[in-house]
Structures are given as structure tokens and as C-alpha cells.
């Protein structure tokens, strides 16, 4: 057989985070004691009251039919209400589109807004799926890269320099996956000052880690700044803040024509998101945020512990992540070094070396547009993190 596989798929990279997680899972199933720090997945259970809402929805027998494509009206009302009250974003239910995770929200946007030849400015380091989804739409990602010295945050000047007549959108996450960096209000305002000059460029602000923020300023949304709501799509979801990765609920709040475009494509590809998951999401967004805040406190403590443990490893250079649950150290000091058997040339090889020798899975920075770095997720227990860092310290010290 000569099976047809499209050029679209041939040209697409596999998700590096999911691929590394699968590799770790496979080694684990062979009985190898792998500590998996590759996947950005909360190690907490979905809070009980959210679980209960899903059980109640099933027992009511009211939610077995196709839900509306863009999500149940009451969920969209609750999301619009939350965005207004908590984020200062003017929003109405018809601007909300609920999807199968924020990943689908982003795919919807790319496929419904971009034509071949269009450019999307992607702030680097970036989350792995951004660039592949831009390319899937036939458009071109243009990278604007933040340096470690500037906490991996690109500046307004860099943004301005990257804009061309083909630029259609700017995409970033804050808090950032993979760097943990958070744009302050002042920094967002500087970016906004550039963006307000262009009526043909939209901002895609991925705020899925909004609750996992360790700073005193709290989360600031781009769309809350003057003049920005009309040009900003806010992307968010329940996976991270509510430990609901498997429930698959994400959403956008967008100017109406964009919300309609995203709904149109979703209507052809998947229809509305799982009815029961939406009822759970409604409880998450309208009820007690304490479990979310407690999880964030734990991530904050772990971040501090991880920074202390990484400080004990000569050659490892980090910024101080202000949110999310990742550390993104620069490990280029180890390139060209060998343990006597294996020579490590780059971040890809270092990630494999760490997996094979320390049995700890991390993700190469190359997949995030930062070839000098690796990403370590600290969404794991203190004991696992301590053990993983002890192993890492040992195998890095063997590289001479
Ligand atoms: N955006 C960012 C920055 C992420 O890290 C993730 C991780 N999964 C997503 C979007 C997608 O999340 P989900 O599809 O689980 O809602
Ligand atoms: N966003 C998470 C990560 O970066 C989950 C994996 C994925 O969806 O790619 O690890």
C-alpha cells in the first residue's frame, strides 16, 4: 500500500512535550524508574466540587445531547462575567467560544484568521504548538526572542521592528510556558503602545496560567488596557489553574467577528465541547477558588526549592520564573562535554543524556525556540523533584 499522507502533516513537527512524555511513559512501562518532568500537567487532582458538578450533570440526565457549538449559554455568561470582574476585560457571552482545550482555541484562531503568506509574530521562547499551528494555516511564524538577561521577555522595540505589511497577529503566553516569565502592566502597556498603531494586527494573549502567578502585582490581561479589547483575543482554559487537563475545556474571548469565525470552523471540525466537561467548567469558574490558590502556593514553594537545588549545579543558569510551573535553565555550558562515553553536543542530546543516565525526563529547549535551554516542569511532588534534582546534579557533574 502507498498510504496518502499530506504534505501538511509531513511538514509538521510532533509535539515535543507529548513526545517526551510518551518516551518517559514507555521506559516506565519497561520497569525503569523514570521521574517525568517533561509534561506541563498539574500533579493535583481536579478539586472535589468540580468532580461533583460533573457527577451531578450526568445524574440529571439533562446533558446528553449535542451542546451548542460555542458552548452552553450559562457557561459563556459565567466566563464573560469572570473576564469583566477579575480581568477588567469588557466581554459578552457571544464573544466567548468554548473549545476542546485552549489548544483547539488556538488552532481555531489560526485556521479562521490566517491566509498563506500572512505572518504571525511569536514571542520566543514559545509554547511548542504555536508555531506548528501557524504553519498548519499556511502562514509564517516570525520570532521575536527575549533574552535570559531580560527574563526572556521581548521588548516593545523588538516587536516594532518585526512588524511588516504581512503581520496579522502577535502571539505570546503570560505567564509564559516555557520560561515562567510574566509581563508586568508596564511592559504590556509598552507593547500596547506599539500595537495600537496597527488596525490590521490582532493580539493573541494566552493567559492559561493566569492563576499560577507568584508576583504581587497579580495577573494583568492585555485586553484590559485602554483600546486593546477591540484588538485582543484572550485565550484561557481550565487545564492548569483547576488541574483539569483531561477534561479538555478552553476558551477565547474575542471581538465578535473573530468569535463567529472560530465558531464556524469549530462547527465543522468538532462541534461543541463535551457537555459534561462544560458543566464541570461552570463549577470551576463560578465556585470556590481556594483549591486553585492552594495549588499556586504549592507551586510557588516548589519553584523556590527548585531554584535552590539548581543553584547547586555549576554551569546551570536560570532566570527566576514568576509564574506557571516550569524552569527553563540555560545549559549551554555543557555543550561539547562528555562523560567519557557520550558527548553532548546540544540541548536535544542533553535531554536524551539526562533521560538515559538520570532517568529524568525534561524537554529540549529547541522545541520552544531556545536551543540553549531545557524545560523542567515542577508539577511533581517535592520528593520526586528532590530525587530528580539529585540525579540531575550527579549526571551533569560527570560531563567534563
Ligand atoms: N497554552 C499554553 C501556553 C499551554 O502551556 C498549554 C498546555 N497544554 C495550552 C495552551 C493548551 O492547554 P489545553 O489544551 O490543555 O487547554
Ligand atoms: N502544555 C503542556 C506542556 O507544554 C501540555 C502538553 C501539550 O499539550 O503539549 O507540556
Q: Kindly tell me if the per-residue pLDDT of 84 is higher than 90.
A: yes
Closest to 363 (Cα-Cα) out of 372, 374, 354: 374
Residue 50 falls inside a structural domain: no
Same-domain pairing of 328 and 347: yes
pLDDT at position 15: 85
Residues 18 and 118 in one domain: no
Last residue of a domain, one of 271, 286, 301: 286
Identify whether residues 82 and 193 lie together within a single domain.
yes
Show which of 286, 304, 339 is a domain's final residue. 286
Q: Which residues contact 381 (CB under 8 A, 6 or more apart)?
A: 43
- The reply to whether 82 and 176 lie within a common domain is yes
Strand 202-206 versus strand 167-173 pairing type: parallel
State the pairing for strand pair 35-36/360-361: parallel
Task: Tell which residue, 281, 327, 235, 326, has the closest CA to residue 50.
Answer: 281
- Cα of 400 from ligand 2 centre, angstroms: 32
Ligand 1 neighbours (beta carbon < 6 A): 40, 101-103, 127, 173, 177, 206, 208, 237, 239, 245, 250
40 within a domain of the structure (yes/no): yes
The string of pLDDT tens digits covering residues 335-380 is 999 999 999 999 999 999 999 999 999 999 999 999 999 999 999 9
Provide the CATH number for the domain around residue 297.
3.90.1150.10
CA of 105 to the centre of ligand 1 (A): 10
Would you say residue 108 lies in a domain? yes
pLDDT at 20: 86
Nearest partner of 278 among 45, 50, 49, judged by Cα: 50
Helix residue ranges per DSSP H, the chain? 7-10, 16-29, 48-60, 73-82, 101-113, 128-136, 156-162, 185-195, 256-269, 275-286, 290-311, 347-353, 382-397
CA distance 248 to 243: 11
Pocket of ligand 2 (CB under 6 A): 15, 17-18, 39-40, 103, 127-129, 177
Report which bound ligand comes closest to the CA of 18.
2
Q: Are residues 213 and 148 in the same domain?
A: yes
Count of CB atoms within 10 A of residue 148's CB?
Answer: 17
Domain boundary among 286, 312, 332: 286
Among all ligands shown, which has an atom nearest to the Cα of 212? Answer: 1
**Ligand 1 center to residue 109 CA distance, Å?**
14
Q: Determine, yes or no, domain membership for 1.
A: no
Q: Residue 152 has what pLDDT?
A: 97
For 208-213, what is the mean pLDDT?
97
Q: Among 12, 19, 129, which residue has the most ligand 2 atoms within 8 Å of its CB, making it the best to mutate? A: 129
Residue 107 CA to residue 149 CA, distance in Å, equals: 32
Residues 221 and 179 in one domain: yes
Q: Are residues 105 and 231 in the same domain?
A: yes
Per-residue pLDDT tens for 234-277? 999 999 999 999 999 999 999 999 999 999 999 999 999 999 99
Task: Say yes or no: 304 and 282 in one domain.
Answer: no
Q: What is the pTM of this model?
A: 0.96
Q: What share of the chain is helix, strand, coil (3-state, %, to 5)?
A: 45, 15, 40
- Owning domain of residue 250: 65-286
| Judgement on whether residues 236 and 298 belong to the same structural domain of the protein | no
CATH of the domain at 140: 3.40.640.10
Whether the predicted pLDDT of 19 surpasses 90:
no
How many domains would you assign to the chain? 2
Q: Is residue 53 part of a domain?
A: no
Same domain, 231 and 134: yes
Q: Is residue 51 part of a domain?
A: no
Handedness of CA 71, 76, 135, 241 (dihedral sign): negative
Distance 113 CA to ligand 2 centre (A): 23
Q: Is residue 15 part of a domain?
A: yes
Q: Contact at 8 Å (CB) between 328 and 178?
A: yes
- Both 263 and 123 in one domain: the answer is yes
Q: From atom 1 of ligand 2, which residue's Cα is the shortest distance away?
A: 40
Amino acid at each position: 500500500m502507498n498510504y496518502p499522507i499530506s504534505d501538511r502533516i509531513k511538514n509538521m513537527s510532533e509535539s515535543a512535550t507529548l513526545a517526551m512524555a510518551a518516551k518517559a511513559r514507555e521506559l516506565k512501562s519497561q520497569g525503569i524508574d523514570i521521574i517525568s518532568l517533561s509534561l506541563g500537567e498539574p500533579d493535583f487532582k481536579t478539586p472535589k466540587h468540580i468532580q461533583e458538578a460533573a457527577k451531578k450533570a450526568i445524574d440529571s440526565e439533562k446533558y446528553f445531547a449535542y451542546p451548542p457549538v460555542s458552548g452552553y449559554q450559562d457557561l459563556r455568561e459565567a466566563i464573560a462575567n469572570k473576564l469583566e470582574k477579575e480581568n477588567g476585560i469588557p466581554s459578552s457571552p457571544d464573544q466567548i467560544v468554548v473549545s476542546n482545550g485552549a489548544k483547539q482555541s488556538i488552532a481555531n484562531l489560526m485556521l479562521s484568521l490566517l491566509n498563506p503568506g500572512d505572518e504571525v509574530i511569536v514571542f520566543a521562547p514559545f509554547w511548542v504548538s504555536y508555531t506548528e499551528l501557524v504553519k498548519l494555516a499556511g502562514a509564517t511564524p516570525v520570532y521575536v526572542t527575549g533574552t535570559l538577561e531580560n527574563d526572556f521577555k521581548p521588548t516593545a522595540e523588538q516587536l516594532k521592528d518585526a512588524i511588516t505589511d504581512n503581520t496579522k497577529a502577535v502571539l505570546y503566553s503570560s505567564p509564559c510556558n516555557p520560561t515562567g516569565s510574566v509581563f508586568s502592566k508596564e511592559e504590556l502597556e509598552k507593547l500596547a503602545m506599539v500595537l495600537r498603531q496597527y488596525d490590521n494586527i490582532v493580539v493573541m494573549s494566552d493567559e492559561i496560567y493566569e492563576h499560577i502567578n507568584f508576583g504581587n502585582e497579580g495577573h494583568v490581561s492585555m485586553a484590559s488596557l485602554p483600546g486593546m479589547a477591540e484588538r485582543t483575543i484572550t485565550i484561557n482554559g481550565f487545564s492548569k489553574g483547576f488541574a483539569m487537563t483531561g477534561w479538555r475545556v478552553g476558551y477565547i474571548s474575542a471581538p465578535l467577528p473573530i468569535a463567529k469565525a472560530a465558531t464556524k470552523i469549530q462547527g465543522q471540525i468538532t462541534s461543541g465541547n463535551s457537555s459534561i466537561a462544560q458543566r464541570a467548567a461552570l463549577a470551576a469558574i463560578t465556585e470556590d477558588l481556594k483549591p486553585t490558590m492552594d495549588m499556586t502556593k504549592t507551586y510557588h514553594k516548589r519553584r523556590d526549592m527548585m531554584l535552590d537545588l539548581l543553584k547547586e549545579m555549576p554551569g546551570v543558569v536560570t532566570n527566576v520564573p514568576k509564574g506557571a510551573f516550569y524552569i527553563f535553565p540555560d545549559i549551554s555550558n555543557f555543550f561539547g562535554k562528555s562523560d567519557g562515553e557520550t558527548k553532548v553536543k546540544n540541548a536535544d542530546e542533553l535531554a536524551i543524556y539526562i533521560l538515559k543516565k538520570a532517568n529524568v525526563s525534561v524537554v529540549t529547549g529547541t522545541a520552544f525556540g531556545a536551543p540553549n535551554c531545557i524545560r523542567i516542569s515542577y508539577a511533581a511532588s517535592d520528593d520526586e523533584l528532590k530525587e530528580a534534582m539529585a540525579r540531575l546534579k550527579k549526571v551533569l557533574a560527570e560531563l567534563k
